[in-house]
Amino acid sequence: RCFAEGRVVVQDEGEAVNLYRQVADQGLPEAQHALGQCYAMGTGCVKNEKEAARLYKQAAEQGDALGQFALGRCFAGGRGVVQDDEKAVKLLRQAANQGSALGQYALGRCFAEGKGVPLDQTRAAKLYRQAGDQGLAGAQRE
């Protein structure tokens, strides 16, 4: 993270990707998610949404809430995977159930829009409130 954010060392996104890759290859879900973010945004590497989704999947399969959230968003938007609202909801629900504010907010959006689940404004409002109570600004505006 130091290389990615320029803390204590000169910022070097390419070196951050190399270090994330080394740790991700050892199976650490936080590094898999972080490396997935790099590929999703093209930070320190060539943008590759399929590789990002693959890395998010590795993290999600280990129960990592951020990996579940990120892979859920991939399925919701068809980024790096075939778009699938039901898979998106399943993953976002897993993240939300672990207390992830991002997962709660994204799942709330699914209920608010009826994407992958029946339209349910009451459930959406509850999820927004849970995310907002954790300080997630976007949820506080919903």
In the predicted structure, residue 3 carries a pLDDT above the cut 60: no
Q: What is the DSSP string of 54-83?
A: HHHHHHHHTT-HHHHHHHHHHHHHTSSS--
| pLDDT reported for residue 110 | 97
Average pLDDT over all residues of the chain: 92
* Nearest-angstrom CA–CA distance, 29 and 25: 10
Mean pLDDT value across residues 62-68: 97
Q: Quote the pLDDT of residue 1.
A: 54
Instruction: Tell me the whole-structure pTM to 2 decimals.
Output: 0.89
Q: What is the pLDDT of residue 10?
A: 53
At 99-121, the pLDDT tens digits run 999 999 999 999 999 999 999 99
Per-residue pLDDT band at 4 (split at 50, 70, 90): low
